[in-house]
Structure 1
Amino acid sequence: MKAMILAAGRGERMRPLSDKTPKPLLKVHGKSLIVWHIERLASLGFSEIIINIDHLGDMIEKSLGDGSEWGVNLLYSDERQSGALESAGGIIKALPLIESETFLVVNGDIWCDYEFETGFDLKGDLAHLILVANPEHNPDGDFALHKNRVSNDTKRRFTFSGIGYYSAKLFEGLENKKMPLAPLLREAVEKGKVSGSLYDGRWYDIGTPQRLKEVNATSV
């Protein structure tokens, strides 16, 4: 299974830090967020990782290179000409590099100790979402979860962690353009084609300078 790290966003809420440094290169305990992901993915058996880039993408390429430092092959899906395509658009553009029926996608601006699975079986579903307890900045959550099935119910919602396993069929026939992921997922949820699980380990959404400061104040 291949993995994709979403790293093309501008990071408006992270300004002014993101004006000169792309969000995935911001450091938690002296190590770039994206390097935490690469190291964990490599240690769990992933050998090929796709990274989409736009804002300050040259800095990401220069910092990470071809991935040989971590024993993986890094491939870049370059969105600099079109501009950031948002999550679904970025995945669609990267599909020729992904070249697999099932793949993992991870947001580049989170920190977690979740153990990514190389052999995840979707069992006919279009996606499997990793959900977490609602953080202070997202008290209402995103999706409900009933017996490992994701629901659009408005009660007892959890937060989507930015970690998901996807079938290429979820994006089949879609145009290569700027497109958010949430509406696509909600549509698949309505069709009963999305499973999920609740992760209770350490997880941080590093969306603002304050949250970056908070995670750096914790022990890892």
Structure 2
Amino acid sequence: MKAMILAAGKGERMRPLTLHTPKPLVRAAGVPLIEYHVRALAAAGFRELVINHAWLGEQIEAYLGDGSRFGVSIAWSAEGEPLETGGGIQRALPLLGDGPFLVVNADIWTDYDFALQRAPLAGLARLVLVDNPEHNPGGDFNLCGGQIEEAPVDCPRLTYSGIATLSPALFAGCQSGSFKLAPLLRQAMSGGALHGEHHHGYWIDVGTHERLAQVEALLERRR
């Protein structure tokens, strides 16, 4: 099973840090955010990674190289301009193969065990959901016993973590170019093909300076 790290974001809310450094290389406790993922994926048994990039992406390639020093092989999907999550994944499909693959946003920090996503995939996608953070109090999806459904009142509404296992079939019929992933997930949900799990551990969307400080404080406590 292959894994893709989504690293094409520009990180505008984290300026001036991201004016000259791509967001995935912003450091938390001295380590680039993307390196935490590469090491965690390697520990979970993933050996083939695909990473997309756009803004200052050559710096990410220079830092991670071919992945051999982390025990993985990295293939690169360079984007001339950002293609949104859906478009970026679709462009990388030839590198990801015919089977289900894991995707993870480069700009999150989590203690999630990626090995859990190596389980067989039922349907078109399996999302990892987390408790709603302050910046997304209304959540994104309703999780009902492993099935993601349309707004049932008796099931918890949670936030999509940016971690998922996807089938290439999710992108059937999509045209190349820039498009979002969310509409494809909601289409799969309407067909009963969207599943999920609730991660109760640590998870932070490192989208602001304040949340980066939260990660650093958490790492300091874990030491």
**Match for residue 8 of structure 1?**
8
Asked whether the equivalents of residues 85 and 177 of structure 1 are also in contact (C-alpha less than 8 Å), the reply is yes
Q: In structure 2, how many angstroms separate the alpha carbons of the residues matched to 1:114 and 1:53?
A: 23
Q: In structure 1, how many angstroms separate the alpha carbons of the residues matched to 2:65 and 2:149?
A: 40
Q: In structure 1, how many angstroms separate the alpha carbons of the residues matched to 2:70 and 2:214?
A: 27
Normalising by structure 2, what TM-score? 0.94
Deviations 1:85-107 (A, max 9, x none): 01010000000000132000000
Normalising by structure 1, what TM-score? 0.95
Q: In structure 1, how many angstroms separate the alpha carbons of the residues matched to 2:30 and 2:104?
A: 21
Q: In structure 1, how many angstroms separate the alpha carbons of the residues matched to 2:200 and 2:119?
A: 19
Deviations 1:156-200 (A, max 9, x none): 410000000001100112111101111111111111110101000
Shift of 1:209: 1.0
Structure 1 residues not aligned, in runs of 5+ = none
**Secondary structure of 2:139's partner?**
coil
**Match for residue 50 of structure 2?**
50
**Match for residue 213 of structure 1?**
213
Residue identity opposite 2:120 in structure 1: D
User: Any residues of structure 2 matched to 1:21-170 within 5 Å, and which?
Assistant: 21-80=21-80, 83-117=81-115, 119-123=118-122, 125-153=123-151, 155=153, 156-170=156-170
Q: In structure 2, how many angstroms separate the alpha carbons of the residues matched to 1:33 and 1:176?
A: 29
Q: RMSD in angstroms over aligned alpha carbons?
A: 1.2
**Secondary structure of 2:9's partner?**
coil
Moved more, 32-41 or 14-23: 14-23
Identity of aligned residues (%): 50
Residue identity opposite 2:177 in structure 1: K
Shift of 1:119: 2.8
Q: In structure 2, how many angstroms separate the alpha carbons of the residues matched to 1:175 and 1:15?
A: 33
Q: In structure 1, how many angstroms separate the alpha carbons of the residues matched to 2:109 and 2:200?
A: 14
Task: Give the total of aligned pairs.
Answer: 217
